[in-house]
Amino acid sequence: MEANVPAQAFWRSVIGSYTNGNYAEIRESGWDGPIQTFISGSRSERTGGGHPTPTPPSARTTETIPAKLKPWDEIRIVAPSKSMSRLLPEHVALAKQRLEQLGLRVTFGKHVMETDAFDSSTVETRIADLHDAFRDPNVKGILAVLGGENCNQLLRRLDYALIRENPKILCGYSDITALGNAIAAKAGLVTYSGPNFSSFAMPEGLSYTREGFVRCLMQEAPFEIRPAAVWSDDPWYRSDAPRTFIPNDGWTVIQPGEATGKIIGGNLCTLNLLQGTEFMPSLDGSVLFVEDDYIVSPETFDRDLQSLIHQPGFEGVKGIVIGRFQIGSRMTPDKLAAIVRSKPELAGIPVIADVDFGHTTPQLTFPIGGTAALAAPDGEEGAKLTIVDH
């Protein structure tokens, strides 16, 4: 159930009800996620007790972590890749409403509706909107409209000193992988791979995505990621028929082991565009998060993964987390396991797959430049993934 009260009243009712122990009132206010998780962000309450496992100082992130979003903070919508003109007005209105129901004030970049022959806009206007968002002291978070193919056009034109001096949340996925990883590398700022603005326009199946967005961008505590109960491969904009949800069999352990390290990654083919440039983050000491869409076949994923393995510093990779593939990719568990196990460079490091991020619904939010702890037991199930620094 979506919240159906104004943002301020929603937050007051939720916080007040939690303080008074009136959990039923929280449900009535419109929040359908875990109550303690939403308010306190306490990992012990999310996982049934206990305390977060201490992380060795050497494994903690050295990047700047931007301030978390709070109720009534302003979040700016920008279009660093495809233009917002690709969205129907009703999608824009619904996505805006969903963010406002989280207590956020939504504003838009001046040029988000501009478009050209490639459904994008000029480098100059896209850069202007990004710089304006980082420069504006009222803006606390920046959210990409949607992905595309040309975000890497911006990388040489960004003012990384401006970004470094005005750290704030930047979130998006797919083509936004280039922007997020470049900023992490050049400005030393933790960025976030998570839902785009368009993701909030999905008519159904948003609860897991929304909860992950809140945990990572609006709460401080470490949190353990759990598999979603169901998933869907329907287009995000589908509103003409009910979405088809598939029971989730959980994550797959391809190679067992434990790892803690800095998160690098996102969309694999987009990340690979950064190879050999100053915009590629160091892979040394990292836990890689990679995914790809339906256009990528098993053979192409194999080639793209091998290309990343050739990147200097790959020998320092601690573990790999692979997002769920779309049905159209024709990837199967056996093919993916064969790809991973065929590479001697991956021997001895933990690898898990079918994790809830990428181009299917729902999707988690994770910090590029933050810290993840992965524990993959010897067997097909039971993997644990914790976001430590975010």
pLDDT of residue 239: 60
CB 143 within 8 A of CB 115: no
Other beta carbons within 10 Å of 318: 22
Active site residue 359: yes
Structure tokens at 169: 């949340």
Closest to 285 measured CA to CA, from 33, 2, 56, 3: 56
Cα 104 to chain centroid distance, Å, stands at: 18
**Residue 56 banded pLDDT, cuts 50, 70, 90:** very low
pLDDT of residue 51: 35
CATH fold label, 223-389: Glucose Oxidase; domain 1 (3.50.30)
In angstroms, the CA 204 to CA 241 distance is: 11
- The answer to whether 74-217 and 223-389 have equal CATH topology is no
Dihedral angle sign, alpha carbons of residues 261, 263, 267, 268: negative
Judged by phi (left if over 0) then psi (alpha if -120 to 50, else beta), residue 185 lies in alpha
Pick the CATH number of 74-217 from 3.30.390.50, 3.40.50.300, 3.50.30.30, 3.40.50.10740: 3.40.50.10740
Instruction: Give percent of the chain with pLDDT exceeding 70.
Output: 82
Q: Which of 63, 198, 211, 291 is catalytic?
A: 291
pLDDT of residue 356: 95
Q: What is the pLDDT of residues 326-358, one digit of tens each?
A: 888 899 999 999 999 999 999 999 999 999 999
Domains of the chain, by residue range, sit at 7-25+33-42, 74-217, 223-389
Q: Which of 13, 29, 81, 174 is catalytic?
A: 174
pLDDT of residue 240: 57
Q: What is the pLDDT of residues 11-29, one digit of tens each?
A: 444 333 333 333 333 333 3
246-247 and 230-231 strand pairing: antiparallel
